[in-house]
Amino acid sequence: MGNVNVQHPEELTVALESDEAVVPATPADSIDGPRPDGPTDEVNLGNTFIPAPSAESVTPLFTNPADWFVPAFPEKLEDLDVNPGFLADLALKVVPLDVDCTTFSIATRLRLGMMITEALLQRLCHEKFIEAKGVVGLHNHRYAMLDHGWESLRRLISTCSYAGPAPVSLKAYTEMITQQVRNRPPSSHQALEQAMSNLILSDYAKEILGLVVGSGRSLFLTGPSGNGKTATARALVNAIPGEVWIPYAIEVDGQVIRMFDSHNHVPVQHANDNYDRRWIRVRPPLVVAGGELTLQSLDLSFTETQRFYEAPLHIKSNGGVLVVDDLGRQRCSATELLNRWIVPLEYRVDYLTLSTGKKIQMPFEAIVVFATNLDESDLEDEAFMRRMGYRLNAEAPSPETFTEIFLRYARSRGLAPDESMVAFLLEKYQAEGRIAKSCDPRDLIDRAIDRCRLHKTPVKLTLEGLEIVWNGYFGRPGTDPRRPTKARA
């Protein structure tokens, strides 16, 4: 992995040709580093003893791997890991995009240095695709297209229309993402508490979530709808320490796979410009896939319009969290979807197919959270469940937890709640045979605020208002306590 600049060499010894860094051992209460998911015992939110990790476990002690594994700035064309001919073709596709085309403007678009960009443009000049129109500055010339260049451009566009930042090789991406993820420090208790600050969770649940973040294993999150499964899964990414470097795109056999997605990747400014700008530093991504997820969306996306590949969602989630929300509501069956994940979860790689039929191996270094209200017995897939890292059951809140959720959310909306209001609601649950859910306090309070705004009255909680919004939320009349209603979806 020679294109990675390892900072602070006096403090770290790294084997650049392997996937492991030589680091000191952590204390016995640390969390094991990532490894393939294996069988574990089922867990829930009850008070269950959690055995301490083995004292033999070894974990890296990096504060932020993104500060250590900085992609080194390429000084010359030979330092790049992509064929120069491919880069010259890419430069030709970029030249017409600027009215005033200069070496600097092309270098900015390709995320390459001035000297490398000038070498590519001089190659195009030599082949009579473009011509130099004048000197702007040192290693900076003005260029224009020639007729022969337009002919070649039409041929290139018909094969691949990608005209963005220069890609990196698949090998470089695999090494970079693997090194960063596997050398992360365990998430601190403070980081986990901060990430889950808006949720009310038991100490046991926080323990399991800490293990998930620290180990990189997957999580199977079950329980009735409305009890915070999705919110918990989404908050998990905030507990991941540091950032990650990802490339804008990857090149494989002259084909381009676009990796950076502004919807799922949030850029973070690096301390300086002395790095390979084909890479971008981002926060650990959070990718959420719900009912729209299909088996096809887990493969490379290629259309005749764009004529280059888009990385699938689970590959874009590398270095972060992938949430498969509402498992069982997808267009394909839950069993088909779970079978698709067996290899990626166990071996931390996935095999994708190019339009040419060639299969490529991609790293899969993301925490996968499966959130569902299905019972495990409904899945009937023992092979998949054995590969789950951890299991957590989000149960209905106890009266004490319901009270805390109600009071905390009401105060967050600037209201002055009274515990008698909570007692009133709990009595209605019992009288109508309903099961309280963690989302109910938020939904009822929001509707009470809606009613105050409708009547243009001061925003406050009253028993009368809660009674009205209760009926509007659950429906009326109430059910017979002897015939409990089904949980609200």
Q: Is 134 left (phi over 0), alpha (psi -120 to 50) or beta?
A: left
Q: 144-148, long-range: CB within 8 Å, 24+ apart, which pairs?
A: 144/101, 145/95, 145/96
400 contact partners, CB below 8 Å, separation of at least 6: none
| 17/308: higher pLDDT | 308
For residue 262, the model assigns a pLDDT of 93
| 299/479: higher pLDDT | 299
Dist CA 31 CA 116 (whole Å): 44
pLDDT interval class at 255 (50, 70, 90):
very high
pLDDT interval class at 290 (50, 70, 90):
confident
Q: What is the pLDDT of residues 257-268, one digit of tens each?
A: 999 999 999 999
- Kindly report the three-state secondary structure assignment for every residue of the chain: CCCEEECCCCCCEECCCCCCEECCCCCCCCCCCCCCCCCCCCCCCCCCCCCCCCCCCCCCCCCCHHHHEEECCCCCHHHCCCCHHHHHHHHHHHHHHCCCCEHHHHHHHHCCCHHHHHHHHHHHHHCCCEEEEEEEECCEEEEEECHHHHHHHHHHHHHCCCCCCCCEEHHHHHHHHHHHHHCCCCCCHHHHHHHCCCCCCCHHHHHHHHHHHHHCCCEEEECCCCCCHHHHHHHHHHHCCCCEEEECEEEECCEEEECCCCCCCCECCCCCCCCCCCEEEECCCEEEECCCCCCHHHCCEECCCCCCEECCHHHHCCCCEEEECCCCCCCCCHHHHHHHHHHHHHHCEEEEECCCCCEEEEECCCEEEEEECCCHHHHCCHHHHHCCCEEEECCCCCHHHHHHHHHHHHHHCCCCCCHHHHHHHHHHHHHHCCCCCCCHHHHHHHHHHHHHHHCCCCCCCCHHHHHHHHHHHHCCCCCCCCCCCCCCC
Q: What is the pLDDT of residues 158-209, one digit of tens each?
A: 989 999 999 999 999 999 999 999 888 887 788 888 888 888 888 888 889 9
Tell me the range of 13-27, 100-114, 186-200 where mean pLDDT is highest.
100-114
pLDDT interval class at 443 (50, 70, 90):
very high
For residue 482, the model assigns a pLDDT of 38
Judged against a pLDDT cut of 80, whether residue 272 lies above it is answered with yes
Dist CA 137 CA 117 (whole Å): 14
Judged against a pLDDT cut of 70, whether residue 11 lies above it is answered with no
Q: What is the pLDDT of residues 350-370, one digit of tens each?
A: 999 998 889 999 999 999 998
Specify the range with the lowest mean pLDDT, choosing from 231-235, 302-306, 312-316.
Answer: 302-306
pLDDT interval class at 20 (50, 70, 90):
very low
For residue 371, the model assigns a pLDDT of 87
Q: What is the pLDDT of residues 462-478, one digit of tens each?
A: 999 999 999 999 986 54
pLDDT interval class at 488 (50, 70, 90):
very low
- Cα separation values, 156 from 68, 150, 231, 242, 392, Å: 38, 10, 46, 39, 51
Specify the range with the lowest mean pLDDT, choosing from 41-45, 102-106, 112-116, 453-457.
Answer: 41-45
> For residue 316, how far is the Cα from the chain centroid?
7
Judged against a pLDDT cut of 80, whether residue 144 lies above it is answered with yes
Across the chain, mean pLDDT equals: 82
Query: What is the mean predicted confidence (pLDDT) over 208-216?
Result: 89
Judged against a pLDDT cut of 90, whether residue 138 lies above it is answered with no
For residue 376, the model assigns a pLDDT of 66
For residue 377, the model assigns a pLDDT of 66
